Amino acid sequence: MKYPKVRSLRDSAALCITLISVLFLATAACGQPVPLFSATYKVSYGILRGEMTLELRQAEETAYIYETSLTPRGIVSVFRRGSIVETTSLKIEDGELRPIDYRSTDTIANPTRNTEYLFGTPPDRVTGVYKERAVDEPLLPNGHNRISAHVAVMLAMNTGASMTGISVFDRARWRDFEFEVFPGQVVKTKLGEYETVEIRYSSQKKNKSWSLHCAEALDYAPVMIVYREDDDIKSKAQLVEYRPLGDPDPDQPQPISSR
């Protein structure tokens, strides 16, 4: 299986978005199978800079909306304006999570790139549009899009289910990824020092990997994300602001910011 080369902050940060929230969903907020939150991250790729935001909110009792965005900052914003916004609707039925749809608008690209997938409409198919081409592929069992997969992975981890990989529908085709867990990692960030669990996410060839360092003190939110190629660090993302959503709960992490 071939994976796209990372040539820019846009590509690198988009990959971070895919992974950054995997461990944000590791522990459920009170009364919720997944936590409701809003968070901001600073992304660095060489001398380039960007900002990512993630938000998971409840739409109905068992339905959720998950949204991610990436915006260039610093000198790169002089040459590349716009943002990448991804949104997916999710539903939990009989204890299982399934994506309803996925939408992406990339205004950094020229011309603007829009992507849309529908899962299970019609039944057992993934349909939609990618790069102005029609998409119609089989829907795999437990198949997800690039951001609904984050929630599915963490639900499996919370229930103790065995999981070594997951199928993700991305760029109009199915991709397989493998996961490894490494507890007991200490990470220093702008917000302080955290004891974390590292989640390593790799392609089948294992020459590309992403590490999410997730802090128990923040309900296993990732405090740092590292992307590597052949063990060389290519990019990092660090949490700079975190805000829980929903009803206030004194046992849940309170809003924090380095700004």
Query: pLDDT tens-digit profile of 84-96?
Result: 999 999 998 887 8
Is 259 inside any structural domain?
no
Position 158 in a domain: yes
Over range 168-174, report the average pLDDT.
Answer: 92
CA atoms of 64 and 92, how far apart (whole Å)? 9
pLDDT at 76: 61
Is residue 233 situated within a structural domain? yes
The answer to whether residues 27 and 158 touch, using CB atoms and an 8 Å cutoff, is yes
In a domain, 104, yes or no: yes
- Distance from C-alpha of 13 to C-alpha of 42, rounded to nearest angstrom: 10
In this structure, is residue 169 part of a structural domain?
yes
In a domain? residue 252: no
Average pLDDT in the chain: 78
Task: Count how many domains the chain has.
Answer: 1
Q: Output the pTM of the full model.
A: 0.78
In a domain, 119, yes or no: yes
**What range does the domain containing 33 cover?**
9-241
Whether 19 is in a domain gets the answer: yes
Residue 127: CATH number of its domain: 2.50.20
Render the burial of 141-172: b for 16+ CB within 10 Å, e for the rest.
eebbbbbbbbbbbbbbbeeeeebeebebbbeb
